[in-house]
Structure 1
Amino acid sequence: MKHKTNRSVRDLTVRLLCVMLCALLAAGILAGCGKKTPDAPTDDPTDTEPADNRDDLDDSYHFDRDFVILSRESTAGEFDSASSISGDDVANAIYSRNAQVEARADVTIKVEPLNGEWKAAGEGETRGGNAEFEGRVRTNALSGKSAYDLIATHSAYLANLAVEGLGLDLTQLEDINLTKRWWNEAYYNECNFDGAIYMMVGDLAYTLYDYMEVVFFNENMAETYDLGDLYDLALDGKWTYTLMKEYAAKVHTDLDADENSRVYGLLTNCHAQRALANAIEANYLVKQDDGTRIYPDTMNDIAETRLSDFIKYVRDGRDAGSIYSPKSWSDEKGTENPIFASGRALFYMQTLGESLTLKGTMSDSYGVLPFPKWDNDQIEYHTSTKDSLTSVMVPANVADPKSTGVVTELLAMYSNQVVINVYYEKVLKLQSFNNPKCIRMLEMIRLSANLSFQQVFTNCLDNPNSLVSEAIRFGTPKEISTMYASDHTKWNIAKLYEDLKALKKT
C-alpha cells in the first residue's frame, strides 16, 4: 500500500478547498428550502440536533491508506467524480463529499468499476445476475484479505452473495450506526434476521431515490378530463386503485390509431406491476408471529382478490389498446418514455429518476403521485424501489474492519448532508417539477418508501416477486391462485432461513 504520510501542501490545500465547496453547496440548497432571518438565533447545532442526525464520530482519524470500492460500472458515479469543477452539481457534490471523508479519515478513496449490469437467467438457469461481477466477489472471498472495503452493485444479486456468507454483519461494525437517517431504517426493519444484516441501502448511493417507483401524470390531460386536483387527493390520503382505473377510463383511445399516435389511459411495465402489488397490500408472503415468513400452500383471499383484479385490468386494457404494457422488461423506458413525453398518456408508472429525462423532452406539464392505496381503509401509501438500486456490502474478509466501518459511515453521513441535498432537493425537485404541491408530494413519496423482504431476497428464492408481472407479461389464462399453487413450492424460503441462521452463528 502506498505510504501517504508526507502529503504535499498542494494536496492539503485541494482537500480544504473541497471541504469549503461542500459546505457552500449544502448551504445553498438549504437556503432555497427556507430563509433564515438575520436575527434568528445561532445556537450550537449540537444542542438541538436530533440524535438520528448527529455526528458521533471522532473529529479525525489517521488510517493512512486507500479505501477501495468495487462498484457496478454503470453506477460508479455514485462514489467517484473525476473533477471538482464541472457543470454537474451532483458530480461536484460527490467530489466534495469524498474530499471531506478523505481529509477526516486520512484515506484515499478509490473506485474500481466493473460490468455489473443485470443479465436474465439463461436456459436451464433459475436466477439472473451478473456472472463477471459475482465471480469477482467470490474470488476475492477466497483470498486471505479482501482487496476491497466495500462492494456496491445491483441489489438483487448482491443478496445472493450476502446469503452465501461473503459479507459482514454490518451491526458488528461499531462505527456504523444503522439508526441514523442516512441509512434506510425501513430496509433494516424489513430485512434483518435476528438483528443481523449483511447488505444495506442508504444515502451513500443515491439510486435509492432514482429508482423509487411513482406514478407520473399529465397535468394538461388531467385538466382536460376534469379530474380535479390530484395532488390534494393524494395528500388527503384518497388516491386509490379504484380511482386510478376510473380516471384512466376517461381517456378516449382511438383503437384505429397506430402505436405512434394512440393515446393511452395508463402506461405500466414489469417492475411497476410488482410495485403495485406491494402498494395495494396484496402480500402472499405471510409473516408469522415469530417474525419469520412463509408461503402458505394456498394464496390468501386478500392477495388473490386484489391481484386477480389488477391482472385482469391490465390484460384487458392491453388487449383493448387503452393500456400499454411491454412484454420485455428491457425496453420499458425506450418504448414508454416517448409515449408519455409526447403527451399521449394520462398515467405512467415509472421510476422517479426518469423525471430528469422527461423534463428535457416533454412539452406538457406533468406531476407525480405515489402508487395508489387499494381503498380508503388502507392506512398508508407504500412506495417500492426498482430492484436494480445499489446496495452495499462489506466483505467478510475485509482487511481492516475498524477503518472500513468509519469510512463507510462517513460516506453515508456526508452523502446525506451534501449529495442528497443536491441530487434530491435541487435536481429532482427543483429541476424536474414546476408545481409547488409536487414538492410536498415528493416528500410524502420518500417517507413512504417500503422495500419488502420478498423483493430484497427474490433472487435467492427463485423470483417470487415476479409472479404478478409474469402473469401479465405472458398472458397465461391461468388464475393467479393456480400459478401460485404450482410455483410456491420452488420458492424455498425455509432454505433461506437456514442460510441466515448459519450466518448468524458464524
Structure 2
Amino acid sequence: MFAKKTVIRMVVLLLVSVMCFAAVGCNNGTPAVTTDPATQNPASDGTTVADTTEADTTEADTTPAIDINTLPLKERFDVKDYEGTSIFFITGGDNDWWVNYDIIGPDNSGEILSEAIFNRNAEIEGAYNVVIKHEQRKHHEAFNQIKADAAAGDTNFDSFFCNGTQMRKLVNASLTANLNEIEAFNFDDPWWNDTVNETLNWGGKRRLVAMGDMNIMSWKTTACIMYNYTLGNKEGVENCFELVRSGKWTMDKWNQIMLNFSRDLDNNGTMDYQTDRYGLVTGNQTLEYSMNGMGETFVSVDAEGYPAVFSLNERMLNALEKVTKLYSKESCLNVHDASYSGGVSLNGQSAKLFSEGRFLFFAETIGGSFQLWNMQDDYGFLPFPKYDETQESYNSSIQSAQMSLVMIPRHATVRRDATADVINAMGYLNMRDVKDVFYDSVFGTRSVRDEDSMEMLEIILQDRTFDLGVAVDFGSIVTEMRKAVIAGNGNYASTYESYREAAETAFTKWVDNAKK
C-alpha cells in the first residue's frame, strides 16, 4: 500500500541536516538539475540519439544531480534586497499548549524548536535584508485588529496567520486578498499543501487563504491516535502498526479492538472512568477526525466550484454509524460528556487520564502528545482508520480551532512583495529544516522514540484534510449532527433536514462575499 520509509533523524543546533520531502518539486532555482543523458540530445527527427547510435562514445555526464530544495535561500530563490524593511505578522493563539509559534518559537529557553525557528528567521532576514516582526493576540482580537486596520486604511500588519474560525469571519467581511493574484506564490511549490489548497481554490480562481509548511500550527493540530502499546502488548492486543501497514486499519477494526479491550474491572456492572479499563479517551472533536479519516467531509462543492452544504448520502450515513459505535460508553470515555462523572466536566483531562495507563487509545492532535512527557508507559502514533480496506489512503483531519492558514489583508499592499517572499522562504526553510526538528520535539520524550511511530507520523502528515464545513458550521448543522452521533440515537437524517435550509442560506451569503 505504501513503502516503509527508513528515517534517520539527528538534531544539530546549526541545523545542517536537510529534508528531501518532495524532491520532484518545481525547478525555480538557478542550479541545473542533471537529467538522464539519453534524453538530452534529440535527433532532428525527434528520436533519442543515445539509444540508437552504437558508435556514440560520448562520455556520460556524471555530475551529481542537485536537489534544489536543499539549497540556501540565496541559491534557491531570486533574492531581493528590501533595504531593512520590517514585515509585520499577527497570529491568533491561546495560552499553554496552544500558543501560536508559526513566527516565533514556543519559548526562549533554547528548546530545539525555538532554536530552529530563530535560525530560520535569521536566514530570511539576512538573505532579504528584512526584519520579521510578530504580535500574538487571542484569535478574535487578531481578527478585530485586521478589521480595524482595514476600516482606517492602516497597514499595521502585512499578514495574519489565522485559524479556521477567523477565516470564516475574514471572508464574510471581504477582508482577504486573493492569493492567486500574488505573483510570488506558486502553489505547485512543494512547501504548499496541495491537497488542502485545492479545496481552498474556490471556483478555480479565488484562493483567499492557503496552507503550507510555513504553518507549523497545522502540523501540531493534525489529528492522530496515541496508542499505549505497553498496555496493548501486555493484554495481547493485535499489532496496530502492522494493521496500518497492511491497509487493514479500518474503523470497524478499531471499534472491535476497543470493545474487546474494555473491562469492568471491579465487576459492579457499571463502567467507571476512575477504576475501569477503557479502549479510548477522547472528546467531541473525534467525530470530524473520524469522518475525515474515512474520506468524508461536512462540505461539498457547487457547480461553480465554490463550497456548499454537504450531502447526506449512503456512505456518509454508514460512516456516521461507525462513529456512533466508537462513542459507546462501554469502551469510550468522552471528556466532554459530563454524564460520565456525575455532572462534573472532565474537559482538559484526557491526556492525564491516558497517561495513567488504563486507556488503550487517546484520540487528539499531535499537539496533545506534548502533554504526555511524564507518561511511564510507551506509546506510539497511529493515523485515524479508513472506512474500509478498499479506501486508498489514510486521511488526517486538521483541527480548525487552533490551526493556522496564510492570509494577507486586501488593504495591505505597501509591503506585499516582501511579505510574499518572506512567507515563501518560511515555507521552504520549514520544509528543509524545521520539520525535522518538529519531529524531534514530538519524539523528544523518553516514551516515544521508536521507528514504528516515526513511520506512522509521516503517514499522518502525508494526506491531510481541512474540513471547511466544520470550520464555518453554518446553521450549526455540524454541531447538531455531532450531538446526534454522540447521543447514539441514529437521528442523522432528521437532524440534517432540520438544519439544512439554514445552513444553505448562510453558505450562499458567505460565498457571495467570497466572490467580491
SS at 2:499's partner residue? helix
SS at 1:168's partner residue? coil
Question: Contact 1:281 / 1:374 at 8 angstroms: preserved in 2?
Answer: yes
Deviation at 1:472, TM superposition (A): 4.1
Q: Which residue of 2 aligns with 1:480?
A: 492
Residues in 2 aligned to 1:23 and 1:370: alpha-carbon distance in whole angstroms: 28
Q: Which residue of 2 aligns with 1:124?
A: none
AA matched with 1:142: A
Q: Which residue of 2 aligns with 1:295?
A: 309
1:79 equivalent among 94, 103, 120? 103
SS at 1:176's partner residue? coil
SS at 2:88's partner residue? strand
1:69 aligns with 2:69: no
Residues in 2 aligned to 1:302 and 1:252: alpha-carbon distance in whole angstroms: 28
Question: Contact 2:335 / 2:347 at 8 angstroms: preserved in 1?
Answer: no
Residues in 2 aligned to 1:149 and 1:278: alpha-carbon distance in whole angstroms: 33
Question: Contact 2:90 / 2:142 at 8 angstroms: preserved in 1?
Answer: no
SS at 1:249's partner residue? helix
Aligned pairs for 1:8-27 (under 5 A) are 25-27=14-16
Question: Contact 1:235 / 1:441 at 8 angstroms: preserved in 2?
Answer: no
Q: Which residue of 2 aligns with 1:381?
A: 394
CA distances 1:19-46 after superposition (whole Å, capped 9, x unpaired): xxx9963324769x9xxxxxxxxxx785
Question: Contact 1:241 / 1:372 at 8 angstroms: preserved in 2?
Answer: yes
Q: Greater CA deviation, 231-240 or 144-153?
A: 144-153
CA distances 1:292-343 after superposition (whole Å, capped 9, x unpaired): 45437x72122122213422x245x22x4x3101236997762211221011
Residues in 2 aligned to 1:470 and 1:271: alpha-carbon distance in whole angstroms: 11
Q: Which residue of 2 aligns with 1:501?
A: 515
Q: Which residue of 2 aligns with 1:260?
A: 274
1:279 aligns with 2:293: yes
Q: Which runs of 5+ in 2 are unaligned?
A: 1-10, 22-30, 35-64, 339-343
Q: Which residue of 1 aligns with 2:214?
A: 204
TM-score calculated relative to the size of structure 1: 0.80
Residues in 1 aligned to 2:501 and 2:236: alpha-carbon distance in whole angstroms: 48
Q: Which residue of 2 aligns with 1:37?
A: none
Aligned residues: 445
Q: Which residue of 2 aligns with 1:183?
A: 192
CA distances 1:358-410 after superposition (whole Å, capped 9, x unpaired): 1x221111111110111112222110011121222111111222222112212
Q: Which residue of 2 aligns with 1:140?
A: 149
Which structure features the higher share of helix residues?
Answer: 1
Question: Contact 2:159 / 2:407 at 8 angstroms: preserved in 1?
Answer: yes
AA matched with 2:243: L
Q: Which residue of 2 aligns with 1:440?
A: 455
Are the structure 2 counterparts of residues 283 and 58 from structure 1 closer, same or farther at C-alpha, using a change threshold of 3 Å?
closer
Residues in 2 aligned to 1:52 and 1:465: alpha-carbon distance in whole angstroms: 40
Are the structure 2 counterparts of residues 305 and 188 from structure 1 closer, same or farther at C-alpha, using a change threshold of 3 Å?
same
SS at 2:214's partner residue? coil
Question: Contact 1:281 / 1:303 at 8 angstroms: preserved in 2?
Answer: no
Considering only aligned residues, what root-mean-square deviation do their CA atoms show, in Å?
Answer: 3.0
Q: Which residue of 1 aligns with 2:332?
A: 323
Are the structure 2 counterparts of residues 105 and 293 from structure 1 closer, same or farther at C-alpha, using a change threshold of 3 Å?
closer
2:256 equivalent among 242, 246, 251? 246
Question: Contact 2:160 / 2:408 at 8 angstroms: preserved in 1?
Answer: yes
Deviation at 1:427, TM superposition (A): 1.4
Deviation at 1:51, TM superposition (A): 6.9
Residues in 2 aligned to 1:242 and 1:78: alpha-carbon distance in whole angstroms: 37
1:103 aligns with 2:138: no
1:422 aligns with 2:437: yes
Question: Contact 2:171 / 2:510 at 8 angstroms: preserved in 1?
Answer: no
Are the structure 2 counterparts of residues 352 and 82 from structure 1 closer, same or farther at C-alpha, using a change threshold of 3 Å?
closer
Deviation at 1:281, TM superposition (A): 3.1
SS at 1:25's partner residue? coil
SS at 1:183's partner residue? coil
AA matched with 1:184: N
TM-score calculated relative to the size of structure 2: 0.78
Question: Contact 1:285 / 1:454 at 8 angstroms: preserved in 2?
Answer: yes
Q: In terms of Rg, which structure is larger?
A: 2
Are the structure 2 counterparts of residues 403 and 87 from structure 1 closer, same or farther at C-alpha, using a change threshold of 3 Å?
closer
Are the structure 2 counterparts of residues 186 and 305 from structure 1 closer, same or farther at C-alpha, using a change threshold of 3 Å?
same
2:173 equivalent among 164, 172, 176? 164
Question: Contact 1:274 / 1:468 at 8 angstroms: preserved in 2?
Answer: no
Question: Contact 2:299 / 2:467 at 8 angstroms: preserved in 1?
Answer: no
Q: Which residue of 1 aligns with 2:225?
A: 215
Q: Which residue of 1 aligns with 2:117?
A: 94
Residues in 2 aligned to 1:211 and 1:101: alpha-carbon distance in whole angstroms: 25
Residues in 2 aligned to 1:478 and 1:232: alpha-carbon distance in whole angstroms: 33
Are the structure 2 counterparts of residues 149 and 195 from structure 1 closer, same or farther at C-alpha, using a change threshold of 3 Å?
same
Are the structure 2 counterparts of residues 293 and 174 from structure 1 closer, same or farther at C-alpha, using a change threshold of 3 Å?
closer
CA distances 1:186-238 after superposition (whole Å, capped 9, x unpaired): 11111211232111222223111111111111102222332332111101211
1:400 aligns with 2:415: yes
Deviation at 1:288, TM superposition (A): 5.3
Are the structure 2 counterparts of residues 421 and 283 from structure 1 closer, same or farther at C-alpha, using a change threshold of 3 Å?
closer
CA distances 1:64-94 after superposition (whole Å, capped 9, x unpaired): 22111112254343312599x8431111111
Question: Contact 1:162 / 1:199 at 8 angstroms: preserved in 2?
Answer: no
1:469 equivalent among 463, 479, 482? 482
AA matched with 2:251: Y
CA distances 1:94-130 after superposition (whole Å, capped 9, x unpaired): 11111111111111111122222xxxxxxxxxxxxx2
Residues in 2 aligned to 1:356 and 1:369: alpha-carbon distance in whole angstroms: 16
1:454 aligns with 2:454: no
